[in-house]
Amino acid sequence: MSAVLKKLMFSSLIGISIGSALFAPNAEAEEPAAKPKKVDIIAHRGASGYAPENTMAAFEKALQMKADYIELDVQMSKDGELVIIHDTTVNRTTDIDSELPVAVKNLTLAELRKLDAGSFFAPQFAGERIPTFEEVLDRYKGKIGMLIELKEPARYPGIEEKVSAALKERRMDKPKNGKIIVQSFDFNSVYKIHQLLPSMPTGVLTSKAADLTDAKLKEFSGYAKYVNTNLKNVTADPTLVPRIHALGMKITPWTVRSRDEVSPLLKAGVDGIVTDFPDYVPKKVR
Ligand code: G3P
Ligand code: CA
């Protein structure tokens, strides 16, 4: 075979194979990788894995770590001031000198402010104080979202009115003025907030699977924008997130304290993740 003929045959073969690759009806087109859904990072009691929970140090750390929200627990002092603390007693998170439980509601603001709320976590946080609600609002308004939990509000008659007034005073009750959500395990309290601040997004908190039936979710959707439950309920029931979304609500489950808890929640399609460690949520989904 002449050299010219060989060259011609070779080029035709190449041509045929390129043509088949481009035009073959069964050629597998590569799917573009789906963009991962962005989720809100909610620093639980502030970045409480790195600084004492519910203190300015923990909220500051959350801001530095670029969390989308800080989560905070609101209660009331004996003299009616709103304060930020998780337990209904001060013993676990302060240096109160008492063997017996001391209730938040039995101390005045001045007494609460004297307590050290940092050294229980680590010595370098000694001197951290229990913040007031107003102090947190003033410091973080417009800087970071706030997921405000009313903790055991039935202990504090009038707490919903006080929280609403503090938000209204600062014009933080309108969704366009920042990411503010009020939530509680006490459904009556959530309903009350919805009545007081109709344009404020509210959230129902529950750890009970029995609260996550279609009928219950429908009821919540009448006054809440969020159903925030324990992350175990999300991984146990793959229908939960779609059922919440179908009713026009969102879900930010809690509380991520280990890196391997993140991925199942992302796969389930949650809207946010409540975590003590904001850096556990990968950058690509933020
Ligand atoms: O945001 C949800 C979460 O804060 C509820 O649990 O006990 O940490 O207040 P807890
Ligand atoms: Ca909380």
Q: What is the pLDDT of residue 8?
A: 38
What is the domain extent for residue 179? 38-279
Helix/strand/coil for 116: coil
Residue 95's pLDDT band (cuts 50, 70, 90): very high
Closest CA to 74 of 182, 230, 218, 171: 182
Which sequence positions are flagged as catalytic? 44, 86
Residues comprising the chain, all counted: 286
Say yes or no to pLDDT of 15 above 70.
no
Please provide the average confidence, as pLDDT, over all residues in the chain: 91
Q: What is the pLDDT of residue 36?
A: 78
Asked if residue 145 belongs to a domain, the reply is yes
Asked if residue 113 belongs to a domain, the reply is yes
Residues of the chain with pLDDT > 70, as a percent, come to 87
> Region 210-230: what's the mean pLDDT?
98
For residue 261, what are the CA distances in angstroms to 162, 254, 256, 268? 36, 10, 6, 12
The pLDDT tens digits for 111-144 are 999 999 999 999 999 999 999 999 999 999 999 9
Ligand 1 mean position to 30 CA, how many Å? 43
> Region 145-163: what's the mean pLDDT?
98
**Beta strands at 82-84 and 69-76: parallel, antiparallel or unpaired:** antiparallel
Say yes or no to pLDDT of 98 above 50.
yes
Asked if residue 2 belongs to a domain, the reply is no
Asked if residue 129 belongs to a domain, the reply is yes
Residue 23's pLDDT band (cuts 50, 70, 90): very low
Asked if residue 98 belongs to a domain, the reply is yes
Ligand 1 neighbourhood includes 228 CB (under 6 angstroms): yes
Residue 283's pLDDT band (cuts 50, 70, 90): confident
Asked if residue 12 belongs to a domain, the reply is no
Ligand 2 mean position to 169 CA, how many Å? 24
Asked if residue 266 belongs to a domain, the reply is yes
The pTM for the full model equals: 0.88
Ligand 1 neighbourhood includes 181 CB (under 6 angstroms): no
Q: Which positions ≥6 away from 232 have C-beta within 8 Å?
A: none
| CATH value at residue 156 | 3.20.20.190
Say yes or no to pLDDT of 22 above 60.
no
Which residues fall inside 5 Å of ion ligand 2, going by CB? Answer: 73, 149
The number of distinct structural domains making up the chain is: 1
Asked if residue 111 belongs to a domain, the reply is yes
The pLDDT tens digits for 222-276 are 999 999 999 999 999 999 999 999 999 999 999 999 999 999 999 999 999 999 9
